[in-house]
């Protein structure tokens, strides 16, 4: 239990669906991250939010749309995804000393 | 640009053996931080250790120990007397200065057999 909760844990969607991933942290951190983990690839940083402001967009396609309404919640809105977007999406929050604390991830399958 | 290399893709050992996971990094930052994370089958990355570039002292925590050598840009991780519960993917990561974007290596899958 790291204090970072992600829902849903598993999601299957068609290419025309719209869905959202949710992340909530109870650690009092001010920065939150989305990472993508695909098979056989390193973890890829997608977005960083610091005090609710987006500070990093790592050239992520617009079919992924993040939202950070407050420092404790982070969403990843998904629409018209492709099968190659199937992956484990990991949310993390950052402690002031730099450590990231991760959730268990949302396993996404795009059919 | 930052880079983390974990040359060992998979390691398999028998319980009670010692095992070392290698990590080599590249960075132009003079101040940087190194991390190790453990990812069990459940998927969650578990933070193990953070080291800053000014502190080359080795660290020991129970059966875990870390060897940081700036001269060879390496930050290796040793598990002593491995146990089945140590089976997981282990990631080494790097962030530079105040840039808290962690760059991860590809990970090493450690399997500890009974």
Spatial separation of the C-alpha atoms in residues A63 and A66, rounded to whole Å: 10
Give the strands of the sheet with A18-25, arranged side by side. A4-7, A18-25, A73-79, A64-70
Q: What is the mean pLDDT of residues A43-67?
A: 92
Closest-approach residue (CA) in chain B for A5: B44
Q: Is the pLDDT of residue B97 over 80?
A: no
- Whole-number average pLDDT of chain B: 93
pLDDT tens digit string along B40-53?
988 889 999 999 89
Q: For residue B106, give the chain A residue with the closest CA.
A: A42
Which among B44, B50, B95 has the least Cβ separation from residue A104? Answer: B44
Q: What is the DSSP letter of B50?
A: E
Report how far residue B32's alpha carbon sits from residue B22's, in angstroms, rounded to the nearest whole number: 18
Query: Given CB atoms, is B16 within the 8 Å cutoff of chain A?
Result: no
Residue A58: is its pLDDT beyond 90?
no
Q: How many CB pairs below 8 A link A and B?
A: 48
Q: What is the pLDDT of residues A5-20, one digit of tens each?
A: 999 999 999 888 899 9
User: b/e map of B26-63 (b: 16 or more CB within 10 Å)?
Assistant: ebeeeebbbbbbbbeeebbbebbbbbebeeeeeeeeee
């Amino acid at each position: 239990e790291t204090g970072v909760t992600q829902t849903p844990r598993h999601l299957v969607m068609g290419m025309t669906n719209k869905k959202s991933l949710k992340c909530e942290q109870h650690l009092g951190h001010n920065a939150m991250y989305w990472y993508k983990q695909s098979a056989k690839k390193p973890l890829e940083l997608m977005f960083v939010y610091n005090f609710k402001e987006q500070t990093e967009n790592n050239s992520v396609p617009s079919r992924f749309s993040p939202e950070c309404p407050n420092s404790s919640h982070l969403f990843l809105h998904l629409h018209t995804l492709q099968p190659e977007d199937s992956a484990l999406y990991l949310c993390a929050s950052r402690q002031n000393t730099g450590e990231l604390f991760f959730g268990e991830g949302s396993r996404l399958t795009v059919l | 640009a930052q880079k983390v290399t974990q040359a060992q893709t998979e390691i398999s050992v028998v319980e009670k053996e010692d095992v070392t996971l290698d990590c080599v990094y590249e960075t132009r930052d003079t101040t940087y931080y190194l991390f190790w994370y453990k990812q069990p089958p459940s998927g969650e990355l578990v933070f193990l250790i953070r080291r800053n570039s000014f502190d080359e002292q080795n660290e020991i925590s129970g059966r875990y120990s870390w060897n940081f050598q700036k001269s060879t840009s390496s930050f290796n991780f040793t598990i002593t007397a491995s146990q089945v519960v140590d089976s997981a993917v282990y990631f080494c990561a790097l962030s530079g200065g105040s840039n808290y974007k962690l760059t991860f290596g590809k990970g090493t899958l450690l399997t500890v057999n009974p």
